[in-house]
C-alpha cells in the first residue's frame, strides 16, 4: 500500500462531524476519493469518506463513523495521507516564475515577481518595484507578450493605468 501525505485536518465544519482537509501546496485530489489515512499514534489509520466537496480552504469531508463535532475535533491537526491513485498530477505551477523581471511595454522594468497566487481562477502576481511598492497584476496570456527563460524576463502589457495606480504616492 503506497500512500502519500496530502495535507492535514485543519478544523471542524458544522455539527455533524464534517472536517476541513487542507491540502499541501501542489497537491490536488480526485473528488471521488474513497478513503484517507490519518496519522494517529504513529500509524496510518484508514477512514472511508462519505462526502467530499471543495471549499476555499481545501475540501469539506465527511468521514464514516465520525458523526458529531466532538469526534471530529479529535482529528484536528492530524496529517492526512491518500493512496497515489487518488492524487492528481498537478499542472506546472506558476511559482517557477518567482524572481523573473516584469518588463512592461510602456514603463520598462517595473520589478521582480515576489509571489504568485494561483488560488483563484485568475492567477495574480505580486511584483516588488525598485521603490519597494508591491504591484499586483493579473497573470494571464492576455497581458503576457513574451517569456524569456534564459534572461528570466517577462514582457508584459499591463492594463492602462494599473501599474501607475500603485506608483502614485
CATH code at position 125: 3.90.50.10
Weakest-pLDDT range from 18-27, 89-98, 102-111, 116-125? 89-98
Q: 69 and 117 in one domain?
A: no
Residue 144 has pLDDT above 80, yes or no: yes
pLDDT for the residue numbered 1: 64
Q: Are residues 53 and 118 in the same domain?
A: no
Q: Which residues contact 154 (CB under 8 A, 6 or more apart)?
A: 97, 100, 101, 102, 103, 113, 144, 146, 147, 148
H-only helix segments in 25-84: 69-73
pLDDT of 56 reads 77
Residue where a domain stops, chosen among 88, 114, 139:
88
Residue 119 has what pLDDT? 73
* 76: its cell numbers: 484536528
Domain count, the chain: 2
Given 55, 88, 121, the domain boundary residue is: 88
Q: Give residue-wise pLDDT tens across range 41-74.
A: 889 999 999 998 888 778 899 999 999 999 999 9
Same domain, 34 and 20: yes
Same domain as 139, residue 106 = yes
Please indicate, yes or no, whether residues 119 and 148 belong to a single structural domain of this protein.
yes
End position of a domain, from candidates 34, 58, 88: 88
CATH number at residue 63: 2.40.30.60
* 105 and 163 housed in the same domain: yes
* Per-residue pLDDT at 26 exceeds 80: no
Containing domain of residue 59, as a range? 3-88
Same domain? For 9 and 71 the reply is yes
pLDDT of 84 reads: 75
Same domain as 28, residue 12: yes
pTM of the model: 0.53
**Least confident span in 23-27, 105-109, 127-131, 159-163:** 23-27
Q: Collapse the DSSP code of 65 into the 3-class scheme (helix H, G, I; strand E, B; otherwise coil) and give the result.
A: coil
Amino acid at each position: 500500500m503506497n500512500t502519500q501525505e496530502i495535507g492535514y485536518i485543519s478544523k471542524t465544519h458544522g455539527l455533524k462531524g464534517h472536517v476541513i482537509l487542507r491540502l499541501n501546496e501542489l497537491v490536488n485530489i480526485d473528488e471521488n476519493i474513497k478513503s484517507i489515512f490519518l496519522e494517529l499514534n504513529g500509524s496510518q489509520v484508514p477512514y472511508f469518506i462519505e462526502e467530499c466537496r471543495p471549499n476555499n480552504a481545501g475540501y469539506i469531508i465527511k468521514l464514516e463513523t465520525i458523526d458529531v463535532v466532538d469526534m471530529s475535533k479529535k482529528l484536528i491537526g492530524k496529517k492526512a495521507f491518500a493512496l497515489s491513485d487518488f492524487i492528481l498530477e498537478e499542472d506546472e505551477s506558476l511559482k517557477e516564475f518567482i524572481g523573473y523581471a516584469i518588463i512592461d511595454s510602456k514603463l520598462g522594468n517595473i520589478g521582480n515577481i515576489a509571489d504568485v497566487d494561483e488560488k483563484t481562477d485568475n492567477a495574480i502576481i505580486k511584483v516588488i518595484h525598485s521603490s519597494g511598492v508591491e504591484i499586483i497584476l493579473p497573470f494571464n496570456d492576455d497581458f503576457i507578450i513574451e517569456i524569456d527563460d534564459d534572461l528570466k524576463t517577462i514582457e508584459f502589457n499591463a492594463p492602462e493605468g494599473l501599474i501607475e495606480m500603485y506608483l502614485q504616492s
